[in-house]
Amino acid sequence: MSVQAEARPVPTADWVTIEDLHRDPFPIYRRMREEAPVHWVPAVNRYMVTSYEACHIIENDQEIYSANETNSLMKRAMGHSMLRKDDPEHDVDRKSYGSVLRPKAIKETWNAIFQANSDKYLARLKAAGPGADLIWEYAAPYAAENLRLIMGFHNATQEDLQRWSQTMINGTGNYADDPEVWAASEKSYNEVDDAIDEILPYLLKNPDNSLLSGLAGMPIPMEAIRANMKMTIGGGLNEPRDVLGVAVWALLSNPEQLAQVLADPSLFPAVFEESVRWVAPIGMYPREVTRDTVLEGMALPRGARLGVVVGAANRDPKVFEDPEVFDINRPKKPHLAFGGGNHYCAGAWVAKASVAGIALPQLFAELPSLRLDPGHPAVDAGWVFRGMTELPVLWDRK
Amino acid sequence: MAKITFNHAGGDVDVLEVEPGTSLMRAAVTNGVAGIVGECGGQAMCATCHVYVREEYLDALPEISDDEDEMLDCTVEERTDRSRLGCQVTVGEGLDAVEVDLPESQV
């Protein structure tokens, strides 16, 4: 008997809609996981992989599960970045980032810049006063300004970074193929190219510690630099913003855990890890199957387009007890929110330093009795990318 | 073939025979040895393949690179003189056997 004959057929989840996924994907993921590790989902036009084990297998086998997807939305929105390449091509691009995002550079260069940015936007949040939205007055500009300086866009503003990131991310997640989304994404694509063309000669003459400065003198094709910068804009702004927002929302919604953290600020890294497990900011990413294969007992044909749903894998009860619950005291287990294998998030240390090291402790230290606004409920949304779209908060003025 | 002995924190032992040129991290992940995570797939980027190499094998190991050194400062369990990243230690020529102790946690 062949392996194929032993494999289970993949069920179709025709009951899944993009609208429902956007509002709250987790009940959908739970139902899918309980039924099978892989489904064909007509609304998304791809197979969705929702078990921890299957997602983990995929990210450690780039020969069967290629990142270099045909007709990729991300390639269209951002160009062919390292995120859609396999090794050895991926490795060349990855190494071009050097040490810019690694812990030593964070300690020596970036932490001071993150602190200055946090001071600046926390002052903006305080000036807006109780009732202000923590995402739009603080988390978003903070993450954007950090990223702008790490990348070396001295000719752009944090508002530019936010617009570029959101419009190109909307393109990358445009599974509904909305033409207006593509138009806005393409406009940002061109603006980013122009900004790179303008800043590279400046950085050659005035080198600093930024990514673009490091790339300015490297024998890397411009096409790769442009695509990788767009990927980094998309992958380096909304994600720290969203983990910051989800972490604050989760703590404010769980008073016992909040009290525990306020009494012991060394727990903020655990808050960070649990927040990205609970709501992975990048909930799904694509892979393409290079040959007929069997994944956790499910038959997949060559060419199958997969959605690797790490947002679901991170709530797999086979790995995480009581997975739907936010619990900073749960036994430590490796989650898949940063991806794994060769595409493991290059910005993971930057996110941990800027969010768990600086932003969260400072927010709770400087905003006495920080709390949700009962008159204006917080809103979480999204599935390919998920975070808080509104987070109005109150606090006591000192 | 080269021999790798993993001593788990709880006292269990896993012994693997692997092809020369295999890293400790890859050997552990491929063979389902618990106690090594290897999130980043071997780029010295995540510090989740931390091992304590037994004294008698330390002299046979390659120098610690800057990237590995920096990452060893980020391990969950304490760094010691025996600490290495499993992804940066490869068995084979000059190291046909190695024995390591695993930390209690990698995350």
Nearest to A60 among B41, B73, B74 (CB): B41
How confident is the model at residue A350, as a pLDDT?
98
What is the Cα–Cα distance from A249 to A350, expressed in whole angstroms?
21
Nearest CA in chain B to A353: B74
Q: Do B105 and A338 touch (CB under 8 A)?
A: no
Assign residue A11 a region (left: φ > 0; alpha: ψ between -120 and 50; beta: otherwise): beta
pTM: 0.95
For residue A273, what is the nearest residue in chain B, using CA coordinates? Answer: B107
Cβ–Cβ below 8 Å for B45 and A273: no
- Closest residue to A102, CB basis, from B29, B48, B70: B70
Q: Could you give the C-alpha distances from A276 to A261, A325, A331, B5, in angstroms and in order?
A: 17, 13, 15, 34
How many Å lie between the alpha carbon of A338 and the closest alpha carbon of chain B? 9
ipTM: 0.92
Q: Answer whether B106 touches A (CB < 8 Å).
A: yes
Closest alpha carbon within chain A to B69: A104
DSSP state of B62: P
Q: What is the mean pLDDT of residues B83-104?
A: 96
**pLDDT tens track for B53-80:** 999 999 999 999 999 999 999 999 999 9
Q: In Å, how far is A103's CA from the nearest CA of chain B?
A: 7
What one-character DSSP code corresponds to residue A295? E
**Nearest CA to CA, how far is B97 from chain A (Å)?**
26
Residue in A94, A103, A340 nearest the CB of B39: A340
Q: What is the predicted pLDDT for the residue at A5? A: 52
Nearest residue on chain A to B41, alpha-carbon basis? A341
CA distance A90 to A360: 33
User: Percent of chain B, pLDDT > 70?
Assistant: 100
Q: Which of A60, A102, A346 sits opposite B29 (nearest CB)?
A: A60
Cross-chain residue pair A103–B73, CB shorter than 8 Å: yes
Q: For chain B, which domains are there?
A: 2-101 (3.10.20.30)
Is B107 in Cβ contact with A103 (below 8 Å)?
Answer: no
Q: Which residues of chain A have pLDDT under 50?
A: 1-4
pLDDT digits (tens, 9 = 90+) for B2-53: 999 999 999 999 999 999 999 999 999 999 999 999 999 999 999 999 999 9
Read off the tokens for A335.
Answer: 């989650």
Residues 6 or more apart whose CB falls under 8 angstroms from that of A283 comprise A25, A309, A310, A311, A312, A382, A383, A384, A385, A386
Identify all chain A residues contacting B43, using CB atoms and an 8 Å cutoff: 94, 342, 344
Task: For residue B37, give how far its alpha carbon lies from the nearest alpha carbon of chain A (Å).
Answer: 7
Which of A104, A272, A314, A335 to probe the B interface (max B CBs under 10 A)?
A: A104
**Residue A45 sits at the chain B interface (C-beta within 8 Å):** no
- Per DSSP (E only), the strands in chain A are 38-41, 46-49, 65-66, 285-289, 293-295, 298-300, 305-308, 371-372, 379-381, 387-390, 393-394
**Residue B51 Cα, gap to closest chain A Cα (Å):** 17
Interchain CB contact of A349 with B (< 8 Å):
yes
Residue A2 confidence (pLDDT): 45
State the best of A63, A93, A349 to mutate against chain B, taking most chain B CBs within 10 Å.
A349
Question: What are the φ/ψ torsions at residue A65 (nearest 5 degrees)?
Answer: -115, 90
Interface test with A, best of B23, B45, B77, B87 (most A CBs within 10 A): B45
What single string gives the DSSP state of each residue in A35-86? Answer: H-SEEEETTTTEEEE--HHHHHHHHT-TTTEESS-TT-HHHHHH-S-GGG--
Task: Flag if A344 and B41 touch (Cβ within 8 Å).
Answer: yes
State residue A1's pLDDT score: 41
